[in-house]
Structure 1
Amino acid sequence: MIQDLEQIDYRCGMLEAGIQPDDLQVKTWPGEKIPVDVRKAVIEENLLNLGGVYGDEGAGDPIEYDYLKLILTDDTVEITVFNRGIMLLMSDDERIRRIHRVLCKLMNDGEG
């Protein structure tokens, strides 16, 4: 069975004193509302193989937080990035750049 992208959840923001990740608003795009270019970017950037936690939670105050949940037919891929801006400047990690490109498309084209 071929996996289909059924939903995207995205939570982002700055974690200042007293703010927890769950306090940030979640934007949700059900399968039929996921923009075509976002769906294409997820595949092209191979995001389904990048699940995990990236960045240093202690590298900033406040902490920049990105959480992306890709819900597939029979699986879920979760990606958490701490301090994405710092990671892009200080790291040569292509995985962070790939995640960043998809998140930018989602934020620009996928207003949910």
Structure 2
Amino acid sequence: MNTGALIMKTPAKPLALIAVLKAVAGKESALKEALSALLEPSRSEPGNIEYTLFEARDEHGTFYMRECFKDQAALDAHVATPHYQQFAAASGEWLAEPPQLIFLDQVSG
């Protein structure tokens, strides 16, 4: 008879976040174009669940990227991709301030 403890592995929860990105005055279109270029390659990453771009209605040039990844490893892989690295290297000319990252815990299904 096996008296060992039953070990249950809890599946990793998806990692969700919203990135808030504010454009330098006059660079709103350039930032929107650069963020839009991230959409398809990011959505095709194996661990990506969602990657959606929004712009604030009442704050032109403020963008929100709603992102969801399978787990932390998938987010880490995303940040290491050539398309993300290319954006990060060039983003200083478009961003008025560093991106704000808001990490979320899902509370409803």
Q: TM-score, normalization: structure 1?
A: 0.32
| The structure with more strand, counted as a fraction of residues | 1
- Flag the structure with more relative contact order, 1 or 2, with Cα contacts below 8 A and sequence separation at least 6: 2
Larger Rg: 2
